[in-house]
Structure 1
Amino acid sequence: MSLRVGYVREHFSSPLLQFAEADGGKTFTLVECPSGTGQLISRLTNDEIDVAIALTDPLISGIAKGSNAYKLVGSYVTTSLNWAVITGKDSKYASIADLKDTTIGISRFGSGSQTMAYVMALQQGWPTDNLKFKVNNDIRGLIDSVNDGTTSAFMWEWFTTKPYADSGEVRFIGSVPTPWPSWMIAAHPTRAPADALRPFLEDLSVYVREFDSAEKRATHDVAFIKDKFGYPEEDIKAWLKTVGYPTHCAAISRDVVLETLSVLEKAGFIKSPEGGFDVSQFVETDVAKLF
Structure 2
Amino acid sequence: MKKMIIGGVPEHFNLPWYLTLRDKKYDTHNINLRWIDYHGGTGEMCQALRDGSIDMAVILTEGIVRDIINGNDSKIVQVFVKSPLLWGIHVAENSDYETVLDLKGTEAAISRYGSGSHLMAYVNAENQGWDYEDDLNFKEIKNLEGALKNLPQGNGDYFMWEKFTTKPYVDNGPLRLVGECPTPWPCFVIAVRNEVLEQDEETIKKVLDVINENTRNFKNIPAIDKMISKRYDQKLEDVQQWLKLTEWSQRNLTKPELKRVQEKLLELKLIDRIIPSENILWNPM
Tell me whether the two structures share a fold, i.e. TM-score over 0.5.
yes
Q: Deviations over 1:122-144 (max 9, x none)?
A: 11111223532111111111122
TM-score by length of 2: 0.93
Residue pair 1:118, 1:268 contacting (<8 A) in 2 also: no
- Going from structure 1 to structure 2, the CA distance change for 1:12 and 1:142 (only over 3 Å counts) comes to same
Task: Answer yes or no: is the 8 Å Cα contact 2:62–2:116 preserved in 1.
Answer: yes
Say which of 79, 86, 96 aligns to 1:82: 86
In structure 1, the partner of 2:278 is: 280
Q: Which amino acid aligns with 2:62?
A: D
Alignment of 1:135-284 (within 5 A): 135-192=140-197, 193-212=200-219, 215-216=220-221, 219-246=222-249, 248-249=250-251, 251-272=252-273, 276-284=274-282
Check 1:228–1:24 CA distance in 2 against 1; reply closer, same or farther (3 A cut): farther
Aligned partners of 1:170, 1:52: CA distance in 2, in Å? 29
Q: CA deviation at 1:112?
A: 0.4
Please give the per-residue CA displacement for 1:185-204, whole angstroms capped at 9, x wherever unaligned. Answer: 00111135212101101111
Alignment partners' CA distance in 2, 1:228 and 1:143:
20
How many residues are aligned here?
277
Q: For 1:57-72, list aligned pairs within 5 A.
A: 57-68=62-73, 70-72=74-76
Rounded Cα–Cα distance in structure 1 between residues aligned with 2:150 and 2:267: 29
- TM value normalised by structure 1: 0.91
Which residue matches 1:4? 5
Matches for 1:83-122 after TM superposition, within 5 Å = 83-122=87-126
Root mean square deviation of aligned Cα: 1.5
Listed as ranges, the gaps of 5+ residues in structure 1 are none
Mapped to 2, the partners of 1:196 and 1:90 lie a distance apart of 50
In 2: Cα distance, 1:260 partner to 1:97 partner:
25
Rounded to whole Å, the distance in 2 between the matches of 1:55 and 1:220 is 28
State the secondary structure of the residue aligned to 1:191: helix
* 1:158-207 CA distance string (max 9 Å, x none): 00000000003111110101001110000111135212101101111101
Are the equivalent residues in 2 in contact too, given 1:129–1:268 (CA < 8 A)? no
Task: Tell me, in whole angstroms, the C-alpha distance in 1 between the residues paired with 2:97 and 2:193.
Answer: 41
SS at match of 2:77: strand
Ranges in structure 2 where 5+ consecutive residues have no aligned partner: none
Please state if 1:14 is matched with 2:19. no
Structure 2 Cα separation of the partners of residues 257 and 268 of structure 1: 16
Is residue 82–residue 178 contact of structure 1 (8 Å, CA) maintained in 2? yes
* Distance of 1:110 and 1:141 partners within structure 2: 17
| Bigger Cα displacement from structure 2, 44-53 vs 124-133 | 124-133
Task: Measure the CA separation in 2 of the matches of 1:161 and 1:227.
Answer: 15
CA distance in structure 1 between the partners assigned to 2:145 and 2:253 by the alignment: 34
Alpha-carbon distance in structure 1 between the residues aligned to 2:133 and 2:68: 20
Q: For structure 1, which segment, 54-63 or 156-165, has the greater mean C-alpha deviation from structure 2 after superposition?
A: 54-63
- 1:206 partner letter: E
Q: Any runs of at least 4 consecutive aligned residues in structure 1 with deviations exceeding 4 A, and if so which? A: none
